[in-house]
Amino acid sequence: MTFCVLVAEMDKIIDVAKRIRNMEIRGAGTIARAAAQALKDYALVQETTNKLEFDSQLSGAAEILVSTRPTAVSLPNAVRIVMAYKGGSVDEARSDLVRLADEFISTSKEATRRIGLIGSQRIGNGDTIMTHCNSQAALSVIAEAHRSGKNIKVIATESRPRLQGHLTIQQLNELGIETTLIVDSAVRYFMKDVDLVVVGADAVTANGSVINKIGTSQLALAAHESRTNLIVAAETYKFSPRTLLGEMVEIEERDLGEVIDPEKLSGMKHVKVKNPAFDVTPSSYIDLICTEVGAISPEMSYIIIRDILGWDVRDMQEIIENSK
């Protein structure tokens, strides 16, 4: 492979990373699948016969992708799964990486479907469901309940400042589900009309806390106050192994331009803007976490990390020691 072609292929990795960072590619599951596909495509164009060089090129691409969205645990988990390829030669390594990427993409899509089947069992005929942001896993739960013949209604938040709720109401409308759009600050006012809250997750910690779109915790608090159950729809690859040793999930701070026009702010020397993209909902506010392997209590999150993702405390200790 010529140097120019190699650079062009790395530019594609950088482009995917940029689209993830700028939220052109959004949603934890979609981000994870995009990263897996990008690594597969990059591996397929490597013409080197030097295994060390192949490993180095793929590791560099993986680092670029992982650095884009620090809170979305699905991203590093997906990259770790794909980068666990084996093989003594470049051809063997490439073949195994492609297999792992294809398997991850396929199982990720199947996971969303299975979550819908499991979570929809919690929805009753005539229920009104509140949801937040634009979670494909949460929408799968709602869509499956609708497909099964249950007469349901949905209240969806705008999900400021990126307004992902506008995507949600469009998708619900296409499914033929009666939906009401509300501003984020109205969740407590409308909670009296809600039978169940269904949200997604960008990360689930070892103690069962959920990191999701900013505003989720206030919705959970309102639901807890009104004794309305809240369920989280989350694929197992969204569980965070690094929290096993107490590491906190980094909360991404996004550009202030998402909140206010920088020109309007320029003359306000005493004003600053904070724009966290996510917040943390404590496990005590969560009734159930629906995964593709079953519905669990938040306290069982460690079991998912250990038995499904294959991590334990010793694994994390070794990684942390090696990273020093």
**Torsion, Cα of 65, 58, 292, 182 (10° steps):** 10
Catalytic one of 41, 55, 133, 312: 133
The residue from 91, 127, 193, 202 that is catalytic is 202
Write the secondary structure of the chain as one string of H (helix), E (strand) and C (coil): CCHHHHHHHHHHHHHHHHHHHCCCCCCHHHHHHHHHHHHHHHHHCCCCCCHHHHHHHHHHHHHHHHCCCCCCCHHHHHHHHHCCCCCCCHHHHHHHHHHHHHHHHHHHHHHHHHHHHHHHHHCCCCCEEEECCCCHHHHHHHHHHHHCCCCCEEEEECCCCCCCHHHHHHHHHHHCCEEEEECHHHHHHHHHHCCEEEECCCEECCCCCEEEECCHHHHHHHHHHCCCCEEEECCHHHECHHHHHCCCCCCCECCHHHCCCHHHHCCCCCCCCCCECEEEECHHHCCEEEECCEEECHHHHHHHHHHHCCCCHHHHHHHHHHHC
Query: Given its phi and psi angles, is residue 155 left (phi above 0), alpha (psi -120 to 50 degrees) or beta?
Result: beta
290 has catalytic annotation: no
Active site residue 133: yes
Residues 6+ apart with CB under 8 A from 264: none
The catalytic residues are 133, 202
